[in-house]
């Protein structure tokens, strides 16, 4: 008994432990425990099977295939983008350095011809009538007067009808918009149009006015006014100095001329397409400038490359400074030239049907990677100087719009064509001359 009294706690714990073991053994022999053990064994077998023969191999293969398809589609997208962005040079073998001794001169000649063709072709553009056109109209008027005199049995007039030096007045009756000398729509009675007769004086017969007749004939023979003469005070197109020089063109100037030509060709193509769409809805005799969405291409000016250090100017011929300033300030895009794209700013000014303005912006942006960054416009009012100059814009409400754009040129497409001077200016090679701050 003394032993039990001394070790009763240990004996009690031993008995309790034996009881717990007995209960656990009995519990483990129950159906629930056997079921849990079987499930655990099955799960262990599945894990061992996945380690030796993984069941997610199909998923991994599918994801790998999807990744390959993405790479392929991305490559195709890049190829299409480069194809859209790419423009071929005027001549092969001139960039970055001409391979022929006369390569630079040949490029200059090709550039001159390309600029002269911008107004022709699909654009169907034309200037205001020349003095030769006015003289021809004067002869037509004289012949008409002689025929009328013969029909009346009168002796033909001896004196020739000479064109008047002043801007004529009234065009042929029935035209939707009158030129200088007539009362413009919305003008008060007795108001004198610029270049027209004084209030109360008799308006000259447009059938007898050579300049009015020539203006009407020109308007009905073209779809868009352009000033194609490169020596004019404000020509339509941005013309590089190399076109007016007899010296060998510098390589960088050749490249800037080429880029400017590409942009202008795209703008001209956009306007021509927009006007062509309108012409298809008209009778052939009505498909002329007065009924076109874009009535006059006033100017295209190329600013230059926009870089983080400033602007690399695309020079303009000294004899053709023009009056249009390119917006080289900050833009909402915040984009500058980098390793992926070179950014070129340019500005387009037009006289257009105000209802077609958004369509024109869309048409230009669709030509290439172009982004409109600004739009300013003013209404062409009845007393606008254009009417006094002889422009006919039709009866639709017209605006003079100035549109600013950014062009994005893929570096991977064009870098191999950059002359050394251009590479230096863009910071691709050693740092060169700094750009002009925008």
pLDDT of 382-393, one tens digit each? 999 999 899 999
Average pLDDT for 309-333 = 82
**What span, in angstroms and rounded, lies between the C-alpha atoms of 99 and 220?**
47
User: 184, 219, 254 — which closes off a domain?
Assistant: 219
The model carries a pTM of 0.73
Q: Are residues 305 and 323 in the same domain?
A: yes
pLDDT for residue 324? 77
**What span, in angstroms and rounded, lies between the C-alpha atoms of 210 and 208?**
6
Q: Are residues 261 and 145 in the same domain?
A: no
Higher pLDDT: 89 or 15? It is: 89
In a domain, 302, yes or no: yes
In a domain, 23, yes or no: no
pLDDT for residue 296? 98
* Of the listed ranges 134-143, 159-168, 190-199, the one predicted with least confidence: 190-199
**What span, in angstroms and rounded, lies between the C-alpha atoms of 406 and 346?**
6
pLDDT in tens, 322-371: 567 888 888 999 999 999 999 999 999 999 999 999 999 999 999 999 99
Average pLDDT for 5-20 = 56
User: 219, 239, 268 — which closes off a domain?
Assistant: 219
Average pLDDT for 242-259 = 96
Q: Are residues 89 and 173 in the same domain?
A: no
- Whether 63 contacts 70, CB under 8 Å: no
- Whether 390 contacts 129, CB under 8 Å: yes
In a domain, 11, yes or no: no
pLDDT class of 109 with cuts at 50, 70, 90: very high
285 Cα distance to chain centroid: 30
pLDDT class of 178 with cuts at 50, 70, 90: very low
Q: Token digits for 314?
A: 């695309």
pLDDT for residue 78? 64
| Omega before residue 96 within 30° of 0, cis | yes
**What span, in angstroms and rounded, lies between the C-alpha atoms of 289 and 351?**
11
In a domain, 20, yes or no: no
Total tally of structural domains belonging to the chain: 2
In a domain, 47, yes or no: no
Q: Are residues 262 and 315 in the same domain?
A: yes
Q: Are residues 117 and 255 in the same domain?
A: yes
Tell me which residue range forms the domain holding 381: 78-124+225-425
pLDDT class of 19 with cuts at 50, 70, 90: low
Q: Are residues 270 and 419 in the same domain?
A: yes
pLDDT for residue 123? 95
What are 313's strand-pairing partners?
A: 304
Q: Token digits for 410?
A: 């893929």
Dihedral, CA atoms, 167, 169, 173, 177, nearest 10 degrees? Answer: 70
Q: Are residues 296 and 166 in the same domain?
A: no
pLDDT for residue 61? 78
In a domain, 29, yes or no: no
CA distances 98 to 61, 95, 397, 419, Å, are 51, 6, 50, 10
User: 167, 197, 219 — which closes off a domain?
Assistant: 219
pLDDT for residue 253? 97
Q: 313 pLDDT exceeds 90?
A: yes
pLDDT in tens, 193-229: 333 443 334 444 567 888 888 999 999 999 999 998 8
Q: Are residues 165 and 239 in the same domain?
A: no
What are 377's strand-pairing partners?
A: 401
Q: Tell me the pLDDT of the chain averaged across its residues.
A: 81
**What span, in angstroms and rounded, lies between the C-alpha atoms of 389 and 296?**
13
Q: Are residues 250 and 207 in the same domain?
A: no
In a domain, 362, yes or no: yes
Hey, how many other C-beta atoms are within 10 angstroms of the C-beta on 114? 16
In a domain, 24, yes or no: no
Q: Are residues 361 and 254 in the same domain?
A: yes
Q: Are residues 141 and 251 in the same domain?
A: no
**What span, in angstroms and rounded, lies between the C-alpha atoms of 401 and 233?**
20
47 Cα distance to chain centroid: 62
Q: Are residues 297 and 389 in the same domain?
A: yes
Q: 169 pLDDT exceeds 50?
A: no
pLDDT for residue 195? 39
């Amino acid at each position: 008994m003394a032993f039990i009294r001394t070790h009763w706690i240990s004996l009690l714990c031993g008995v309790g432990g034996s009881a717990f073991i007995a209960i656990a053994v009995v519990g483990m022999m129950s159906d629930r425990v056997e079921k849990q053990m079987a499930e655990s064994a099955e799960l262990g077998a599945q894990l061992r099977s996945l380690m030796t023969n993984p069941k997610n191999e199909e998923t991994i293969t599918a994801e790998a295939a999807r990744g390959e398809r993405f790479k392929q589609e991305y490559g195709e997208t890049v190829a299409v983008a480069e194809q859209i962005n790419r423009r071929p040079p005027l001549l092969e073998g001139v960039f970055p350095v001409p391979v022929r001794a006369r390569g630079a001169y040949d490029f200059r000649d090709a550039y001159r011809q390309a600029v002269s063709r911008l107004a022709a072709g699909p654009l169907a553009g034309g200037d205001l009538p020349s003095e030769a056109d006015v003289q021809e109209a004067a002869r037509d008027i004289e012949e008409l007067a002689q025929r009328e005199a013969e029909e009346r049995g009168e002796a033909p007039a001896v004196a020739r009808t000479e064109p008047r030096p002043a801007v004529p007045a009234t065009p042929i009756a029935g035209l939707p918009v009158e030129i200088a000398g007539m009362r413009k729509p919305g003008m008060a009675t007795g108001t004198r149009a610029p270049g027209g007769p004084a209030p109360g004086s008799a308006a000259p017969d447009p059938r007898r006015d050579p300049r009015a007749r020539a203006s009407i004939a020109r308007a009905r023979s073209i779809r868009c006014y352009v000033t194609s003469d490169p020596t004019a005070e404000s020509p339509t197109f941005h013309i590089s100095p190399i076109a007016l020089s007899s010296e060998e063109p510098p390589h960088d100037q050749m490249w800037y001329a080429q880029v400017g030509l590409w942009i202008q060709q795209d703008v001209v193509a956009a306007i021509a397409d927009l006007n062509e769409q309108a012409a298809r809805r008209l009778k052939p005799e009505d498909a002329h400038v007065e009924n076109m969405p874009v009535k006059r291409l006033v100017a295209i000016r190329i600013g230059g490359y926009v870089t983080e250090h400033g602007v690399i100017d695309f020079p303009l011929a000294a004899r053709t400074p023009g009056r249009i300033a390119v917006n080289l300030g900050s833009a909402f895009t915040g984009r500058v030239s980098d390793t992926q794209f070179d950014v070129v700013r340019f500005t387009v000014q037009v006289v257009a049907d105000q209802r077609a303005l958004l369509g024109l912006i869309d048409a230009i942006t669709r030509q290439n990677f172009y982004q409109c960054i600004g739009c300013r416009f003013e209404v062409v009012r009845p007393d606008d100087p254009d009417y006094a100059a002889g422009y006919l814009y039709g009866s639709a409400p017209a605006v003079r719009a100035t549109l600013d754009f950014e062009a994005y040129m893929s570096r991977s497409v064009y870098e191999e064509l950059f002359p050394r001077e251009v590479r230096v200016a863009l910071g691709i090679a050693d740092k060169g001359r700094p750009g002009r701050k925008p």
